[in-house]
Structure 1
Amino acid sequence: MSEWSVAEPRTLTFDDPVTALHVRIVNGTVNVVGTDEGSARLEVSELEGPPLRVTRSGGTLTVAYEDLPWQGFLKWFDPQAWRRSAVVSLAVPAGTPVEVGVVGAAAVVSGTEGRVEVRGVSGDTTLVAVSGPVRVSTVSGNLEAQAVTGDLRFNSVSGDLTVVEGAGSSVRAESVSGSMIVDLDGTGAATDVHLTNVSGEIAVRLPHPADAEVEANTASGSVSSAFEDLRVGGQWGAKKITGRLGAGRGRLKAITVSGSIALLRRPPAEDAPPTDGPTDKKVL
């Protein structure tokens, strides 16, 4: 095993293959970029507080504080230990599995093809052009995912979820009060979306033409649908949207207690034939 103590801005290059990446920091920023190169590169551009410990064990590269464990990460609330910050950038082979833990720091992962797991307390997470399976767990941090084609799992207490140009085969999200906005571009596999919330709002924009069995329920919020083939109804305050779009090969399920639910329609692709019929929303 090789080990380095990084107490000031520094750049390290690793020529041997990296097969796994683990990063854990408190405040600051983590940037992870997948590349076509076989080597890996670490740049620590800003650092305040105790030094970072960089270890290379076999093919696993770890950049972390010694007192910040991966297990029980979301329960790490030592106020004294929050007084530290680092800006860390890593370039690794695109297929490398990535684990990132951030307390108050922002995490950005782009261009990777392997599994990605992010655990955060209050830091926001951004994913761009990630094609491997993704799991993000936060307390209050937000997640923005753009052009993500892998299966996506998101768990949060109050963090918001925003999916833009989603083409993955599956989206699963659970939150207590965070809002959820999911935009599907229709270029991936059949829609498989399951969203669960308590008081946060849910909005899903489906491709045109859409192809899914739809079930959306709210106990006391409002619902709206841009699809004339879906039924909007309910009683005693509870409201729901149900029905089939296209052949119903995919599935969309959205559940919230007091939040509103909106089902929106993407405009037709430029090369798609025009279709007739109303596009006004049905609101209840």
Structure 2
Amino acid sequence: MTRWLVTGAGGMLGLDLQVALALAGVEPREVTALTRKDLDITVADAAMQAVRGHDVVVNCAAYTAVDDAETHEAQAFAVNAVGAANVARACRASGARLVHLSTDYVFSGDATEPYAEDAPLAPRSAYGRTKAAGEWAVQAHCPQAWVVRTAWLYGAGGPNFVRTMAALSRTRETVDVVDDQRGQPTWTMDVAQGIVRLVAESAPFGVWHATTSGETTWYGLAREVFAGLGLDPERVRPTTTSAFPRPAPRPGYSVLGHDAWRMSRLAALPHWRESLAASLADVAHDRSAS
């Protein structure tokens, strides 16, 4: 019996991870799922107590309000860096393996080719700085850890770009979407299943990029959402990042490389179009009408 702990279990990824663990294989698993209300990872003693007795810990807990972090960096640091360090120390003390979720925001976002797993970190936002600090803490305090970076997440369990586009398609004739930011739209279920594979196959500890293959812009993704819903994609119009000023700078290029998957001969995540087609009906469902 492998005992798993999922922190931040109420978020999109945490919810899908619980489903993936329930469906994956025949290995008996006992899963403890703790939401933010159940566990405050910024409290070291609480983290130590929660981790004790588990074999695998997946730390999905994070401060993810990118714009708010610009003016609340201390709060973001408490969760993304101090909290990560608390979980990492607890895992080392108990001998648990740790999967820690991170982000494309640890990079500058001005590259012209996919970021390798060992590319230098150069965050430009408060959120990115706190997540980079969390990566350092995990690697410093827990040798048995996978740092899993992901990006452009969408899923059925929370607000996200895909759901927003579906909602706007019902209320607006046209939608303006930025066409100068490139990335990899990534379904949280794909990430969850990838995490299960990493652990099940005893993949090498270190940094992994869990994003789908292929790349597009937010504009390209929005058009695909409209088309997938049977709507005219020409209703989506391209615009620039400067038309939507935000407190935190957005990476212009967030494409992550997948060398770790290839070198380990593990199945990487599918192409983003394939996953969007498989998930769109559920993600775009209008729950307010239910």
Q: When the two structures are superposed, what TM-score results if normalisation uses the length of structure 2?
A: 0.24
Structure with greater proportional helix content: 2
Largest Rg, 1 or 2: 1
Which protein, 1 or 2, shows the higher relative CO under an 8 Å CA cutoff with sep ≥ 6?
2
Structure with greater proportional strand content: 1
Q: When the two structures are superposed, what TM-score results if normalisation uses the length of structure 1?
A: 0.25
